[in-house]
Amino acid sequence: MNHITRTVRSPVAFSVLAGVVIGALFLVGTGADPVAAYGAVLGGSLGADGIGATLTTLTSVLGLALALAVPLRAGLINLGGDGQLVLGGMAAAVTGLYCPLPAPLTVVLALLAGMAAGAGYAALAALCENRFGVPLLVSSLLLSYPAASFASWLARYPLKEPGSSLPQTRQLPDGVALPRFGSSTVTVGLLLVVLAAAAYWFTDRRTAFGYEMRMTGLSSRFAAYAGVERGGLALRLMAVSGALAGLVGAIGVLSFPYRFLDGSLTASGYTWTGLTAALLAGAAPVGTVLASFFFAVLQVGGLSMERTTEVPRELTQVLQAIVIVFLAARLRFPRSPGLTRLFRGRDTEQTPQTPQSPQSPESPQGELA
Amino acid sequence: MFFDSDLLMSALRALTPILLAALGGAICERAGVFNIGLDGMMLMGCFTAVATSWFTGSPWLGVLAAALVSAAYSLILAVGAVTLRGDAVVLGIALNLLAVGLTSFLLRTVFGVQGTFDDPSLAGLPLVGGFSPLAYLAWAAVGVAALTLSRHVWGLRLRGVGEASDAAATLGVSPVRYQYGAVLVSGVLCGLAGAQLALGNVTLFSENMTAGRGWIAVVAVMLGRALPLGVLLAALLFGLAEAAGFRLQGLDLPQQATDAAPYVVTLGALFLTTARRRRRTPSPAPARPSPPPSSPSTSTSTSAGAVS
């Protein structure tokens, strides 16, 4: 019972509710019926016609949410998901096009190549912080732009499909594709991403590495005293993060339209949706899955809302951001020491209270009475 | 001739939005509020400036409205980070996302177009002596900010609030008031930056048209160590990179290489400055935060409890 009230009163429930209410105000403002619009969101995303699209979207959103949750668990924010995603997709496309092995092996190799490319590029951002002192938040974001430009250049010049007017590579050979479930657009990629979520859950709950990660996130200073080497941890977490983002890119290329099309991987803004989901869940494994599903529903449902009520689907993007605004205003996430420096004055309140005075942390004098 | 006065002129033109936004970021940084929502505040400024100029026909009203709306938008950060003590990093990211969503939504509901709103009768800012009037304003703002921060009592108190808000509070300076002021000023400056971008550099609005300039401004704050003159130099560097990029496009280099140039230059500049700073300080401890001021107080309270 206590558990339920705590969940209902938590900032997460509050901010989701606030987002839905403010979204309804927007709907009323544009002259639409909020009930009909939200009904269209749910019907369009969870109904028989929409569930396939929702699960396809979930594959990307969950994969990127996991990619961003892994470093966030330790208080690190990876803003370079777009670059890692695109490089992963490009690596998978190149492997798929030029690997001489049989198709099933090529698919596996392409997935691995995508993960390796993403991991390497994300690790580069961590090295920038460890070696050169450039904060990860900034190094990961700045590295993202050249990566996207590089992949765009590859798709436009050296690897461009001859005769095509689109900036895209040739189509992958027959059979070099992820198997699909029946006649739907859902591929085995969803399974891979769900497996990754399970692995994240296990690591987070049951392993020493997961403990180090959570400890660093809760108090990086305490973790440092306990012997966690922050630079190494950041490097490993970023590599995992990049690998997951690269995996999503590879899955994207190995699904319809089975090629690398410049801009198609990043057009839907899944990286930002993933970051939003990871933030909403506080990077907790199960929460990340739930939040990803919520945002996948919103994203797909937004399209059918636009069809039935003529409210632009961008409203769902507004709704997403509002949820995070409310959440951030009420919650604090652990952050890296480089940024903590800027908040020195106020960080003191985050320091865990000594167990001697759990009843009245506000007034230690209470004990004297 | 690659480096000539033409290049410098176009660099000076390109740097204005980044300079305005980065000045706002520097003032926030000095007041102890980490502001990475500059990009979103700029984007709100862009849209407001274009919409107001379109409906009133006056680009000047557009500039004014952009400053006001961005300032109002920045209040979200002030309330969230200063009053409610939320996480400024997450709030900043959320502000950027909200601005992208909100402006795209409004672009479709107000103008009924998707992607870009572009009309020949949309009035842009006139040029005065080869530069937008906002460029002169930006240079003046550098001087005013530098003098205020270093010489005026407001600047002294603002820096005091940023460095030790508790100490400032004991001296009777309200940290909340100064931090609100800093965030609002950054909102105004970002609004002007957005107006310059949408009515000065070009005369149109397109989705996400800031294209990461607000993030470059965040980096400029870091590079310039939150000093107005340092920020000016950092912004000049990006202006040069952007102008050189345009120039390189004429030399048959692929556009993708020139697109990436400002970011690569930024990262390189960050490497150089942080490496030099590290060499100067012999202990390269990775930014270990100083011991928390609260630890002595908790220890005294527990010992007091033991005495009683």
Q: For residue A133, what pLDDT is reported?
A: 84
In chain B, residues with a C-beta closer than 8 Å to the C-beta of A367 are: 301, 304-305, 308
User: Given a cut of 70, is residue B300 above it in pLDDT?
Assistant: no
Chain B residues touching residue A348 (CB < 8 angstroms): 292-294
Q: Do A317 and B97 touch (CB under 8 A)?
A: yes
- CB contact (8 A) between residue B302 and residue A321: no
Judged by a CB distance cut-off of 8 A, whether residue B263 touches chain A is yes
B112 vs B72, more confident:
B72
Residue B129: band (very low, low, confident or very high) from pLDDT cuts 50, 70, 90: confident
Task: Tell if the CB–CB gap between A351 and B259 is shorter than 8 Å.
Answer: no
Contact B145, B27 (CB under 8 A): yes
Q: Is B288 on the interface with A (CB under 8 A)?
A: yes
- Measured CA to CA, the distance from residue B65 to residue B49 in angstroms comes to 6
Torsion of CA B170, B171, B177, B179, to 10 degrees: -80
Q: Which two tokens stand for residue B154?
A: 């407001």
Name the B residues in 20-79 with CB < 8 Å from any A CB. Answer: 29, 32, 34, 36, 76, 79
Please tell me if residue B253 touches chain A, with a CB cutoff of 8 Å. no
**Of the candidates A299, A288, A295, the residue with the CA atom closest to the CA atom of residue A66:** A288
Residues of chain A positioned with their CB less than 8 A from the CB of B290: 344
Q: What is the structure's pLDDT at B27?
A: 94
Can you list the domains of chain B with their CATH numbers? 12-212 (1.10.3470.10)
Contact B101 A272 (CB under 8 A): no
Q: For position B288, what pLDDT does the model report?
A: 39
Q: Supply the pLDDT for residue B118.
A: 87
- Give residue A182's pLDDT: 82
Cross-strand pairs, B116: B206
Find which of B39, B84, B87 to mutate to test the A interface (most A CBs within 10 Å of its CB): B87
Q: Which residues contact residue A239 at a Cβ distance below 8 angstroms, ignoring those fewer than 6 apart? A: A119, A120, A122, A123, A126
The nearest CA of chain B is from the CA of A134 a distance in Å of 7
Note the pLDDT tens digit of each residue in A274-298: 998 999 898 999 999 999 999 999 9
Q: What is the pLDDT of residue A351?
A: 38
- Count Cβ atoms within 10 A of the Cβ of residue B121 and give its class: 0-12 exposed, 13-18 middle, 19 or more buried: exposed
* B218 has a chain A CB within 8 A of its CB: yes
Pull the structure tokens for residue A231.
């630079």
pLDDT at B279: 65
Contacts of B98 in chain A (CB under 8 A): 318, 321-322, 325
For the entire predicted model, the pTM comes to 0.84
Residues of A in contact with B166 (CB under 8 A): 345
Residue A6 is predicted with a pLDDT of: 63
Q: At what angle do helices B213-223 and A136-156 cross, to 10 degrees?
A: 140
Q: What is the pLDDT of residue A54?
A: 94
Whole-angstrom Cα distance, residue A219 to residue B295?
14
Answer whether B306 touches A (CB < 8 Å): no
According to the model, what pLDDT value does residue A209 have? 92
Residue A308: per-residue pLDDT: 86
Average pLDDT over residues B114-131: 85
Q: What is the largest CA-CA distance in chain A?
A: 85
A48-57 burial, b for 16+ CB within 10 Å, e for fewer?
eebbbbbbbb
Chain B: give the shortest CA distance to residue A75, in Å: 11
Cα–Cα nearest to B102, from B75, B53, B69? B69
Residue of A230, A325, A346 lying closest to B98 (CB–CB): A325
Residue type, A259: R
Angle CA(A143)–CA(B20)–CA(B152) in degrees, nearest 5?
125
CA-nearest residue to B259 within chain A is A149
Surface of B (99-118) touching A: CB under 8 A: 100-102, 104-105, 108-109
Look up the ipTM and state it: 0.81
Q: How far is A314 from chain B (nearest CA, A)?
A: 5
Of the listed ranges A215-224, B150-159, B188-197, B240-249, the one predicted with least confidence: B240-249
B260·A230 Cβ contact <8 A: no
Q: How far is B199 from chain A (nearest CA, A)?
A: 24
B286 and A221 in contact by Cβ < 8 A? Answer: no
Cβ–Cβ gap A346/B219 under 8 Å:
no
Return the closest-CA partner of residue A23 out of A8, A35, A10, A11.
A35
> Between chains, do B256 and A153 touch, taking CB under 8 Å as contact?
yes
Q: Which of B212, B218, B222 sits opposite A145 (nearest CB)?
A: B212
- What residues of chain A score a pLDDT lower than 50? 1, 332-369
Does position B253 have pLDDT exceeding 80, yes or no? no
Whether the Cβ atoms of residue A332 and residue B87 lie closer than 8 Å to each other: yes
- The predicted structure's pLDDT at residue B233: 92
Interface contact flag, A137 B277, Cβ < 8 Å? no
Q: pLDDT (tens digit, 9 = 90+) per residue, B136-174? A: 999 999 999 999 999 999 998 999 888 888 888 888 888
Rounded Cα gap, residues B27 and B48, in angstroms: 23
Q: How far is A14 from chain B (nearest CA, A)?
A: 15
The stretch B226-245 carries a mean pLDDT of: 88
